[in-house]
Chain A
Amino acid sequence: AQTVTQSQPEMSVQEAETVTLSCTYDTSESDYYLFWYKQPPSRQMILVIRQEAYKQQNATENRFSVNFQKAAKSFSLKISDSQLGDAAMYFCAYRSGGGGADGLTFGKGTHLIIQP
């Protein structure tokens, strides 16, 4: 079974600065997807960014980018120019590839605090 580990229960960053959230995972599969989801307080979980394991290029979405290290099984999220609206729980998640029906396996989350 796959596992996802987020070792930072909480992170704090000053507005406009950069923060990196860590995630490691364990799998024996070669084909899979990795995701970062954001869950604001009392709001639904929304996708921030995703990465297919077969792609060597790191995904980027505006101020959000990932550092995907497949051999090290590491998938960190970098948020540049942090904004107050970025404050939320961030979950790293894994999904098997190949069109499998497996859902997502989540880490325990990192609570991101943005200091004004």
Chain B
Amino acid sequence: DTGVSQDPRHKITKRGQNVTFRCDPISEHNRLYWYRQTLGQGPEFLTYFQNEAQLEKSRLLSDRFSAERPKGSFSTLEIQRTEQGDSAMYLCASSPLFRAGFTGELFFGEGSRLTVL
């Protein structure tokens, strides 16, 4: 397995358009997280999945944002009616369930950078 992959790496869109990002986690990882990172800041939690269930959403995740993880494999993050304030790096990370040898580490993808004009 080559790690967490995200697509596209960079998306430029006009205000009001919809965008969708995809994340493929490490195959044996049950947990998948989405974070948002703005310039010069640390990543901020958006939402997470355990298998196909979305178990927690941050207040940062407005109604224009929706995330899915069908079949507990890849995940998509859709932003509808984009605004300039949505411009950020969207990071995906995955983690295994707690078991012997659990390290607590999250494994990150390279991120999808969104620029809203």
Number of interface residues of B (CB under 8 A): 27
Query: In the complex, are the beta carbons of B106 and A103 less than 8 A apart?
Result: yes
A95, B104: Cβ atoms under 8 Å?
yes
Give the interface of A toward B (CB within 8 A). 4, 6, 33, 35, 37, 43-47, 50, 52, 91, 93, 95, 97-101, 103-109
Asked if residues B55 and A45 are in contact (CB atoms below 8 Å), the reply is: no
Taking a contact as CB atoms under 8 Å apart, the answer to whether B31 and A43 are in contact is: no
Which residues of chain B from 57 to 95 have any CB-CB distance to chain A below 8 Å in the complex?
Answer: 91, 93, 95
CA distance A100 to B50 in the complex (A): 11
A109 in contact with B102 (CB, 8 Å) = no
How far, in angstroms, from A105 to B35 measured CA to CA in the complex?
10
**6 A-B residue pairings within 8 Å (CB atoms):** A45-B43, A50-B103, A50-B105, A95-B104, A101-B56, A103-B95
* Nearest CB in chain A: distance from B38 CB, A: 11
* Cβ contacts under 8 Å, A43 to chain B: 110
Central interface residue in B35, B42, B43, B106, by most chain A CB within 10 Å: B42
Among B42, B55, B110, the residue within 8 A (CB) of A106 is B42
- A43–B108 Cα gap in the complex (Å)? 10
A91 surroundings in chain B (CB, below 8 A): 42-43
Q: In the complex, what residues of A have CB within 8 A of residue B43's CB?
A: 45, 91, 104, 106
